Amino acid sequence: MYSLLRFRELPSTNTYARQKIKELSDKTVIVSDTQTAGRGRFDRNWISDIPGNIYLSIVLKPADVKPDVISTLSHYTAIAICRVLEQYPVKPQIKWPNDILVNGQKIAGILAESSFMGQKFNGLVLGVGINLNMPQNFLQRINQPATSLNLLLEKPIDQEVFRLDFLDTFFEDYENYLKSGFKMIKNEYIKKSSFIGEKVNVKCGKVVKSGVAQSLTDNGELILLIENGTLEKISVGEIY
């Protein structure tokens, strides 16, 4: 189904996967106990020096799949993370496009990076970081409100069990997702969203757009009702 490469420490599982993408086969999962240069979206750091948390990257090399399906695999990953968290049980919510929050605080993030050689698509690296066993005082080093599963449940979390459940959940529906795309999970994604009907600010590169989040398209784009009454579809950016 999938193969796993495990390391004690790497600079970043995403960086490793991207560097080796040609020799890594489809559905290889790179796992590291810690990272010395963990990366988040938009060049942010991802604090990764505490073992017991999830730091992994999934290498995917799907053939003949539409670009809009590839670009929403991170939305699909967010749903898989939520499904596992719900078993603990906590109530995760998604902040578009793929931040996972519990009680408004970030518990997991996804860094999706495509690799191209010229026009040729080499593969996608889906990096997943999940706070499972963060000490309270380390969360203060994170530059946004953050939480960790152990603190929510007031007990240590078995990271091996969580990782197995997550990878099983991810790969269970993966082939179906490649065929169907975002509409397969759209209702579940909307149900788990923290932002629908809310006034939000969306960072799109250097531009910030403000409006009320109406819904999502069948391709996972955010539909925003701008103050001048127009509807805008946003495909790349983040609610902050």
Mask for 127-156, x = binds ligand BTN (CB under 6 A): xxx---------------------------
Angle between helices 73-86 and 159-180 (to 10 degrees): 140
In the bound complex, what is the minimum distance in angstroms from residue 27's beta carbon to ligand BTN? 17
In the bound complex, what is the minimum distance in angstroms from residue 152's beta carbon to ligand BTN? 18
Nearer to ligand BTN, 144 or 210 (CB): 144
Nearer to ligand BTN, 6 or 179 (CB): 6
For residues 73-102, which are near ligand BTN according to CB under 6 A? Answer: 99
CB atoms inside a 10 Å sphere around CB 199: 11
In the bound complex, what is the minimum distance in angstroms from residue 150's beta carbon to ligand BTN? 17
* Number of residue whose CB is nearest ligand BTN: 109
In the bound complex, what is the minimum distance in angstroms from residue 237's beta carbon to ligand BTN? 13
Can residue 44 be called a binding residue for ligand BTN (CB under 6 A)?
yes
Please report, to the nearest 10 degrees, the dihedral formed by the alpha carbons of residues 30, 85, 148, 10 taken in order: 0
Query: Which of these segments, 103-111, 139-147, 173-181, 182-190, binds ligand BTN (CB under 6 A)?
Result: 103-111
Token readout for 61 is 């090399």
For residues 6-35, which are near ligand BTN according to CB under 6 A? Answer: 12-14, 35
* Strand-pair category, 199-204 with 238-239: antiparallel
For residues 46-65, which are near ligand BTN according to CB under 6 A? Answer: 46, 55-57
Query: Which of these segments, 63-71, 121-129, 132-140, 218-226, binds ligand BTN (CB under 6 A)?
Result: 121-129
Give the distance from CA 13 to its chain's centroid: 14
State the Rg of the chain over Cα. 17
13 within 8 A of 31, measured Cβ to Cβ: yes
Strands (E), the chain: 3-10, 28-35, 54-60, 92-95, 99-102, 105-117, 120-130, 199-204, 207-216, 222-226, 231-234, 238-239
202 within 8 A of 102, measured Cβ to Cβ: no
In the bound complex, what is the minimum distance in angstroms from residue 64's beta carbon to ligand BTN? 27
> Applying CB under 6 A, which residues contact ligand BTN?
12-14, 35, 38-41, 44, 46, 55-57, 99, 109-111, 127-129
